[in-house]
Every structure is written in structure tokens, then in C-alpha cells.
Structure 1
Amino acid sequence: MKIFILGDSLALPRPHRIKSFNPEVDKELAVHFDETYGCLLQNELLNAYPTVRFSVTNRAQRLTTIKDIADQFSDHLFYFQPDVIVMQVGIVDCWIRDELGGKQLVDIVEFEQYYHAILTLLQKRPETKLIVVGICPTSMKMEMRYPGILQQISLYNQVLKSGENHHQVFFMEMESYINSHNPQVYLLPDDHHLNKKGNELISRRLVEIIKAFQENVTGCKMFETDAELSYKHFIKSHEIFPYFGDNLYNLIYLSYQMQDWGKTVEYIKFVRMNQIQHPALPQLVDMIKEQMNS
């Protein structure tokens, strides 16, 4: 499974004081490469699935905006053909900048336009999944310095979340984890970049989603030869991350075929309750309802 990380400096190693960093003096970084969430993610997946080939390629760059990602997204998507893209972007775009007279590098209208351009391209390669990491809130200290910045972060996050469909696009929100009154549980003292615990947090949450992807893939491969074992992998995927539309489709289809009708109804209710989208789910559910009522 090929995983690509696209984004800004939050996915990168970080010195304690980047503006005064001296490599001859500052040997210890705030976050080393092997402590970034991309590196942690790869190690965890390789440990969990030693027989599966996982690769995590980190192509994040400092000061990256969603425009930068949109401009290069076609190359990343079609030339490298990743199975999963992790995209963490937005804080550079929405930050209120003194040098711009209080304006932002990318206003929210442009931000939404570039995001839609990315999603449109993504649809052309439906086998690639996109996990969008939400923008981390900053501190109350920064809110006092840049009034309205927390609201801007929330508004830009709403744009990112709007693309989620639980089928090809998944949104990983960060606002419920980072407390603006005490952000340094997960952020460095600049109230912006991830510290070691912040990287561990994102890695843990990515591992859950990608493990669910992998269990679903394994279940699909076993479907023709061992339906019961295939069903177990689909169930495991659902237990790890229940909001995965592809896996729910497989669970509904296979539970019905195996006459586990109580579970079939349970999964259908879950889909409706959580508004899970999948291009083939409505047709499957209608077919099952018709057969059950006949």
C-alpha cells in the first residue's frame, strides 16, 4: 500500500527555534524525522502487517498552501498512483498576516475553489483514498494577537469537512483534541506546529483508518475462496473504523448472503444514521429491502 503525505510544515521535522536554528549548535530538534507522524505511521503499519508492503512518502513542504497542492495534485495522483493520500493543509492559507495588512494568503473563497479542484481530480482515480487532516486550533494568546483567528480556522475546517463522503474522502478533525487554553499538550510553544505528542496523536488516528482500509482489502481478496474468513475481515475493519463506506457495502452484501439478517439490518441502519455515502449502496439496500419484503 502506497501512502503519500501532502501538506505544510506540520508534517515535517522541526527545530526548537527555526528562525535562529544553527545546525552546529542545535543538535537536538523539537521533533526529529523519526518522530513525525509519517514515520510513526509507517512503522506501526509494518509492525501490524509484516507481510504487507507499506510505504509512506512524505512530500510535505514548508509554507505550502492549498493552491500549491492543487497545482501539483495531478502529478501526485496519476504519476505516483498512491493508494492513500494524507493531506494536511490550511493553517498557512488562513493565518492572518501583518505583512498583508491583516489579509490571508488564500481567502476562504479561493480555498474552497482549490479544494473542489482537488476533489474533482481525485474522482478520476476512485481507487485512491484521501484522508484530510483538519487544521489544528491555535492558542488564546494567538487569538488575542490576531483577533478572529480561531473562527477563521473553524471556517476553513468546515470547507475541508464538506468534502467528506466516507467512501473516497475522509476528514480527521483536530478541534476536539486541541484546547486553545492549553494547546501545548499537542503543539510546540509556537502554538502552531505539532510536538511529539501531536505527531503521535495524528499517527494513531491515521493508523486506525488505514488498518480499516487494509482489512477491507484482505476481505475482498478472500471473498471468492473463503466467504466466512472474508466476512471476519470486514467485521474487523468495521470495528476499527466503522465509517468506511466500501467496507459497509461489503458487510451488508455478505451478511445478507450468509443469512445474518439481523446484522444486515443493523449495518443498513448505521449507514442511514451516519449518512454514509457510497455510489452502489442505495441500489444494494433497495435490492435487499425488496427481497426481504417479497
Structure 2
Amino acid sequence: MNLGKRLVLIGDSITEWGKNEDPEGIGRGYVRLIHDYLRVTEPEKNYEIFNKGIGGNRITDLEARWQEDVLDLMPDTVSISIGINDVWRQLDQPELEQVAPDKFEQKYRKLLSQIKAATHANIILMEPTIINEEINSEGNQKLKAYVEIVNKLAGEFDTLLVPTHQAFIEYLQKDSRYYLTTDGVHMNSAGNLLMANQWIKAVKNL
């Protein structure tokens, strides 16, 4: 895949991870690892990489800032990682207005349509990762529908798909007992490496 020069990676706190304390605004999560990999392996391309993750975001929050944080930047590549909070809020804040799977799909499709209409950007969809490092946790069971929607939309819009959820599940099935998150959701350095590795593999395999 020719990523172009300008890359926007957008999502929630998993994407944001440390960007507000970083003078470069890249953070210390999977976006940092992708940034460093690209800058080291293809220095001549002088990539511009924008971390547009914001903690707590759901698909509805992305919709509210889509114009400013994606379309106005005229990116060559847009990478989206969203869906964890759409499920997690159902568990930890059930009093909120929730984003059910059908609403998630409708909002996501709208955002992808806007990219297609306004830019020539490559689109990369990352599956939402995990909620608790237990394969059969309530969060992971609820998450399945959202992962399926991301896969469906990747096919519908002919985008690159990064099988992040699948990779985490396969890791958990091996029962290494080495954790990838700090709290079941937010990545430690190993979890960020898994995410970045899946992203890079997906891009290189095209």
C-alpha cells in the first residue's frame, strides 16, 4: 500500500495513549511504534503522522469531530480504531444513552462514506481489541457484534482490515499468562506492540 505522506490515526484512549505529554503529539502507544517504524524504514518519505485519539471516545464522538480531525487535514491514509467504549459504556455506565450495534454500523458507514466523498485517502480499519483478558468475558461477548460490523464495512468499502481482535483472541488462547493490558482494556507495551505489528503486517502484505 502506498500510504502517501499524511497519515491520520484516529480513535479512543488506546490510540491517544500518552500523546498529550509528548512534544511530538504521537504518544507512547501503538501509534508511536507505527510512527517510528515508518520513519526508520522509509526515512525518505518524511511521513506526517497525526494522532487523533481522544480518551473515552465512541463512534458518536468521532462523528462530532470528523470534519476537523479527519477531512480538513486532507489525509492520504486514515486509520480508524474504535468500538471499545461503545461496548464498555454498556458495562460500566449503563445509565448513558448507549451505542447499540445497529447505531454503531450506521454511524461508522456514514463516516466512511464521507472519507470516500471528500478525499482519495486509503482507509485502514482496525478491529476493536478486547475488554478483559478473558476470552469469554461479558465485554468480549458483546464486542463480537462490533468486530463483525468492522469486518463487514471493510468489505463493503474495500478498505484494509487489521485483525486486531482476532490477534488478541489467538494470543489469549495460547494461555501464556503474560498480560497485554494494564486493566483489561488499555495496552501495556506488549499490547501496543501486538497492535502495531498487526497494522504493519496488514500494510506490508498488500
Q: TM-score, normalised by structure 1?
A: 0.58
**1:264-275 correspondence runs (5 A):** none
Equivalent residue number for residue 145 of structure 2? 155
The answer for unaligned runs of 5 or more in structure 2 is 19-25
Q: How does 1:127-276 map to 2 (within 5 A)?
A: 127-137=120-130, 138-140=132-134, 143=137, 147=138, 149-165=139-155, 169-179=159-169, 180=172, 182=175, 185=178, 187-210=180-203, 240-242=204-206
Aligned to 1:3: 7
The answer to which of 50-59 and 133-142 deviates more is 133-142
Contact 2:133/2:184, CA 8 A, preserved across alignment? yes
> How has the CA–CA distance of structure 1 residues 199 and 150 changed in structure 2, closer, same or farther, with 3 Å as cutoff?
same
Percent identical:
18
Q: CA deviation at 1:50?
A: 1.8
* Residues 119/184 of structure 1: CA separation in 2 closer, same or farther (3 Å cut): farther
Instruction: Name which structure has the greater RCO, CA cutoff 8 Å, separation 6+.
Output: 2
Consecutive unaligned residues of structure 1, counting only runs of 5 or more, are 15-32, 211-239, 243-294
Cα 1:34/1:76, change in 2 over 3 Å? closer
Give yes or no for contact 2:30–2:196 (8 Å, CA) kept in 1: yes
Q: Highest CA radius of gyration, 1 or 2?
A: 1
Matched, 1:88 2:92: no
SS at match of 1:64: coil
Secondary structure of the corresponding residue to residue 150 of structure 2: helix
Deviations 1:10-41 (A, max 9, x none): 12336xxxxxxxxxxxxxxxxxx653111221
Aligned residue-pair number: 190
Write out the 4+ residue segments of structure 1 that deviate beyond 3 Å after TM superposition.
Answer: 165-168, 179-186
**3-state SS of the aligned residue for 2:161?**
strand
1:123 aligned residue: 116
Say which of 73, 77, 80 aligns to 2:70. Answer: 77
Q: Structure 1 residues 173, 207: CA separation in 2 closer, same or farther (over 3 Å shift)?
A: closer
One-letter amino acid matched to 1:82:
P
Alignment TM-score, normalising by the size of structure 2: 0.80
The RMSD of aligned alpha carbons is 2.7
Shift of 1:184: 6.6
Cross-structure match for 2:23: none
Q: Say whether the 8 Å CA contact 1:39–1:56 is kept in structure 2.
A: no
**CA deviation string 1:93-149 (max 9, x = no partner):** 012334425x77311121111011112102113521121111112333982xxx4x2
